[in-house]
Amino acid sequence: MKITVFTPTYNRAYILEKLYRSLQKQTCRDFEWLVVDDGSADETQELFRKWEMEENSFSIRYFKTENGGKCRAINHGLKLARGELFFTVDSDDTLTEDALEKVISWEAALPSDGRYCGIAGNPGTSDAYTPNRLFDGGYFDGTLLDRYGSVDGERAIVFYTQIYRNYLYPEFEGEKFLTEAVVYNRMAHDGYRMRFYNDIIYIYEYRNDGLTKAGRRLFLDNPRGYGLWLREKAEFENASRIDKLKMYYTFTCDLSAQYDDSSMIAECIGAPEMLVRFIIMARKLLKKG
């Protein structure tokens, strides 16, 4: 089939039906709904048992795993996906009725030179408003590293499944969060391009139990993934020595307030341990002063 709509979910039984109903309304039927339940303790499994018995024009494939975080769920989903395209739609979001129809038409318009890893539409707070800037001509061709410049805000990203499978998320023991930007940046560094469209296809709402609300705490609680993202981003953007020193300083200050282990902090960010120890000592002296 053409598209795998992939949803990782955790304790979202109270909101999942909105997404389900938006999939039933799609003008395109060439898709499957693949769901990885990341260890929910609510009624999510019972919901999908019921929905799998309903008559739909698309297949519903539900899998439950031990809780391991969103990126582990994506890795699992990529191994199971049957669609040519892989579209992650979070459990608290919905799609516009023509979202998948647009995705298929956009993909068909891409140059067939193998340089594109996928396409992206706009997310919006409604089907009429997005906070993101709009591009002249209706779309912008760039890389996923352009998210730090020309392409503002989050985007509704759809990857070619086979390409995405080559960029599974690193998994660190004891950590359950890794920003998806790690893989996005690696694809861009390897030369893959993305076409970003203006059209809103994805309606989002940030909730108190979501990853976005957790914010900075997620990074600090998962230092290996946090450090990997920072140091690779610095490498891919050819950061200057001064910028790297600033990164070491900020990371060390953030982590030393929570972890009393200079060798671990140094390993996570890729800095000399002596430098990390110096930063910690200097910070303590400044606080005393």
| Residue 178: φ, ψ to 5° | -145, 130
Average pLDDT over residues 124-136: 95
pLDDT digits (tens, 9 = 90+) for 23-53: 999 999 999 999 999 999 999 999 999 999 9
pLDDT tens digits for range 210-256: 555 567 899 999 999 999 999 999 999 999 999 999 999 999 999 99
pLDDT at position 125 is 95
In Å, how far are 121, 189, 231, 233, 234 from 238, measured between CA atoms? 29, 11, 10, 8, 6
Q: What is the pLDDT of residue 210?
A: 54
Alpha carbon distance 77, 7 (integer Å): 9
Distance, CA of 230 to CA of 179 (rounded, Å): 10
Residue given tokens 């296809």 in the structure block: 201
Q: Band of the pLDDT at 208, cuts 50, 70, 90?
A: low
Half-sphere exposure of 146 (CA within 13 A, CB side): 14
Contacts of 239-247 spanning 24+ positions with Cβ under 8 A: none
pTM across the whole model: 0.94
